[in-house]
Amino acid sequence: MTDNLLLRAARGQAVPHPPVWFMRQAGRSLPEYRAVRAGIGMLESCRRPDLVCEITLQPVRRHNVDAAILFSDIVVPLQAAGVDLDIVAGTGPVVASPVATMADVDSLPTLDPQAVGFVAESIRLLLAELGETALIGFAGAPFTLASYLVEGGPSRHHVKTKALMYGAPDVWHALCARLADITLTFLQVQADAGVHAVQLFDSWAGALSEADYRRFVLPHSRRVLDGIAGIPKIHFGVGTGELLPAMAEAGADVVGVDWRTPLDVAAARVPGKVLQGNLDPCVLFAPWEVVEQEALRVIAEGRKAPGHIFNLGHGVMPETDPDVLTRLVSLIHAS
């Protein structure tokens, strides 16, 4: 496993071609996913190791990607800790009692590692099946989790989140400290169970200026990343071109980049860091010639970094033709 392409690239070691996997590679783009999920809620399926194992393996079997990502969700540890929430199809996470005050923060539960024992069990099943394919564990970073808890659900402008951050910084920092504890426990459970790498998703951090990111977010994300040792750590957000140096400082080995920032530009912004990304997920809806041209551009630009893990700039969209993803993996492997 130490020779796995993804792990080599993440360490900045020489690889014959970039390793490739896709964020949201398991999910609604696959008919076999829609079939096994029929009639079973998202969070319920995350709690069933047999289903987690099957769904995680589906894109590996189909696309021959170099890594599997554990099938779960960023809100799974919150629910396991006791936060009343659900994932509503077509909407996303919805929280019953949004967080607004210090009393709300004080009443948040902590995460007992045993409450996510189903994740450790899923990882054990997966490691027995995966062979030479790397398994990536993940969690949501404090800012992105806080956004769901404060807004009560998905949000376009994160108005309540920012109002809390600016208006009650003590409540904000207390909330993020709690979330960092939960996230770190969740990642530690996955690392102890044997995942080969972890990705910390701060998907919505791009809503912040660099100064606010440094003041309100970076210390909490750093505490999470510093708490995990011995395996490569990937840190990703959307719209984070201006935040890349600060996100790199949070302690990741690999910095994920969305499609807005070319990888050669990103490489200059975070010297010495391995990059992951960054084909626009919408390009997959264009004719194959365009997909090919854009993917080869991403690979060429990625050569400016000490290592490059090919991925999309954000998750696979549900309407994506899975055959295009399979063909893309072959193209990357032949590059």
The catalytic site residues sit at 24, 28, 37, 73, 148
Rounded least distance, CB 70 to ligand CP3, Å: 7
Q: Which structure tokens are listed for 221?
A: 């994300």
Residue nearest to ligand CP3 (CB): 203
Question: Which residues sit opposite 317 in a β-bridge?
Answer: none
Shortest distance (Å) from residue 33 CB to ligand CP3: 7
Contact 61, 129 (CB under 8 A): no
Determine, following the binding rule CB under 6 A, whether residue 25 of this chain makes contact with ligand CP3. yes
- For residue 306, count CB atoms less than 10 angstroms from its CB and return exposed for 0-12, middle for 13-18, buried for 19 or more: middle
Among 11, 13, 17, 24, which residue sits at the site for ligand CP3 (rule: CB under 6 A)?
Answer: 24
39 lies in the binding site for ligand CP3 (CB under 6 A): no
Interacting residue with ligand CP3 among 71, 186, 216, 259 (CB under 6 A): 71
Judged by CB under 6 A, the residue of 315, 320, 322, 332 near ligand CP3 is 315
Q: Is 54 in the site for ligand CP3 (CB under 6 A)?
A: no
Taking CB under 6 A as the rule, which mask of x and - marks residues 114-143 in contact with ligand CP3?
Answer: ------------------------x-----
- Please say which residue, 232 or 315, places its beta carbon nearer to ligand CP3: 315
- Min separation Cβ 90 and ligand CP3, Å: 5
- What are the φ and ψ backbone dihedral angles of 59, each rounded to 5 degrees? -70, -25
Is residue 260 near ligand CP3 by the rule CB under 6 A? no
23 contacts ligand CP3 (rule: CB under 6 A): yes
Nearest of 182, 181, 191, 158 to residue 78 by alpha carbon? 182
- Residue from 9, 10, 20, 42 in contact with ligand CP3 (CB under 6 A): 42
- 18 or 27: CB nearest ligand CP3: 27
**Segment interacting with ligand CP3, rule: CB under 6 A, options 24-32, 190-198, 227-235, 319-327:** 24-32
CA atoms within 13 A on the CB side of 7: 15
Here the tokens at position 21 are 């996997």
Cβ distance to ligand CP3 smaller for residue 71 or 172: 71
Shortest Cβ 102–ligand CP3 spacing (Å) = 26
In angstroms, the CA 299 to CA 311 distance is 10
Tell the smallest beta-carbon distance from residue 58 to ligand CP3 (Å).
Answer: 10
CB of 148 to ligand CP3, least distance (A): 7
The stretch near ligand CP3 (CB under 6 A) out of 89-97, 253-261, 267-275, 292-300 is: 89-97
Please list every residue from 165 through 204 that binds ligand CP3, using CB under 6 A: 201, 203
Please identify, among the stretches 7-15, 82-90, 259-267, 285-293, the one whose residues bind ligand CP3 according to the rule CB under 6 A: 82-90
Which residues are at the interface with ligand CP3 (CB under 6 A)?
A: 23-28, 37, 42, 69, 71, 73-74, 87, 89-93, 138, 144, 154, 201, 203, 315
